[in-house]
Amino acid sequence: MTKSQKQYAIVTGNYWAFTLTDGALRMLVLLYFYQLGYSPLELAMLFLFYEFFGIVTNLFGGWLGARAGLNVTMNIGLSIQILALVMLTVPAEWLSVLYVMVAQALSGIAKDLNKMSAKSSVKSLASDGDGKLYRWVSALTGSKNALKGVGFFMGALLLELFGFVNAMWIMAGMLSVALMVSWLKLDGALGKSKNTPKFAQMFSHSSAINWLSLARFFLFGARDVWFVVALPVFAASALGWSHLQIGAFLAIWIIGYGFVQAFSPKLIGQTQNPTHRTAFGLALILGGVPLVMAYSLSLNPQGVIILGLGVFGILFALNSAVHSYLIVAYADSDGTSKQVGFYYMANAGGRLAGTVLSGYLYQTVGIEGCLMASSGMIVIAGLLALKINRG
């Protein structure tokens, strides 16, 4: 195994460990506080700081990664997530909406530091000319999403078996082991810029990256506008599913989504690397799925949710994989994290908008309204992709 492969394995293992706890924590918070009687909009607000501080983190984190190295930002992310988990082990009466929002803010900072670090590091470890960069980015992103699905199920299972507080301690212990391995084994020079970057350089001056970032905003807003709050609450209230059933269903979906993403180079079947036109075409196909679901839901709600979410997952995974490749490919080789951080700032902004809209729209116009909003946002993302012009 080459040095690059060893470093890629460490980065991937670190990302996997973090992702398990991130998915589990989201499911634990969602199910536990729904069980306590929180409304859909209140549930969405619990994740408001999580998404908002993801925006801030990607901006500052990309700059810090370019200055200090990606091992620093990755290890800081793990440490902050451990702190966020421990914060939620307090007595139940302390768990006010504001307190949980603060803990979620720390978790959002940790998640985006970890993700930005992992994806930026691949640029330093793989070449683009032979297709290795596309394959490695797809494998990293796909495996992460598959494990996030496992994390969803793990969160529901831990809640059932051990309760909320013990689940937090178990996950904090898992991450402590990952932090120790990362601290000892990860290359200190990984991703560090040769030239000390100024903070003003964090705002991208590349039109391709600006348009791609805006497209990413709408793409991920389109997913979260019905997936984050509306879908689990609909499954619990309208379909009568248990916590474990919801966790298992979402876990299976995200695991499948991750596998599709990991193998997207083969599934898309292009002889050359994907372009902005690939992103446009895939978005137009995806945009029709939630629209059809919205108009079919009254016929067989459970069947439409299961089948529709499966189709949506496959197509969304292909869209996301192409976007993830394009940002790494378009970013500068020196100090990649600056531009990747800017891009994922837009990603976090889309998730924030989608999360708030998910709670608000579900409470006001139901899941059908969430699905129609999703379709419109996907079409906008596709049209924006056409504006990308590298160079």
Q: What is the pLDDT along the chain (391 residues), one digit of tens a residue?
A: 667 667 767 777 778 888 889 889 988 988 888 888 888 888 888 888 887 887 777 667 666 766 666 778 888 889 999 999 999 999 888 888 889 889 989 998 888 788 777 766 666 655 555 566 767 677 777 777 778 888 888 998 898 899 999 999 999 999 998 888 878 877 655 555 555 555 455 555 567 788 888 999 999 999 999 988 899 999 989 999 988 888 888 888 888 887 887 777 777 765 577 788 888 999 999 999 999 999 999 999 999 999 999 999 999 989 988 888 887 777 665 555 556 767 778 888 898 899 889 989 999 999 999 999 999 999 999 999 888 765 4
Residue 203, CA distances (Å) to 62, 91, 133, 172, 339 in order: 10, 42, 24, 34, 8
One CATH from 1.20.1250.20, 1.10.730.10, 3.40.50.2000, 1.10.240.10 for 3-192+201-385: 1.20.1250.20
- Residue 216: enclosing H or E segment and its boundaries? helix 207-227
Encode pLDDT of 54-96 as tens digits. 777 766 766 676 666 677 888 888 999 999 999 999 988 888 8
Give which of 90, 107, 229, 78 is closest to 164, Cα–Cα: 90
Pick from 386, 352, 353, 138: nearest CA to 284: 386
Does the pTM surpass 0.75? The reply is no
Contact 329, 273 (CB under 8 A): yes
Distance CA 215, CA 38 (A): 32
- Maximum Cα interatomic distance, the chain, rounded to a whole number of Å: 60
The radius of gyration computed from the CA coordinates of the chain, to the nearest angstrom, equals 20
Contact 376, 286 (CB under 8 A): no
Q: At what angle do helices 48-68 and 97-125 cross, to 10 degrees?
A: 40
Total Cβ atoms within 10 A of residue 350: 26
Per-domain boundaries in the chain: 3-192+201-385
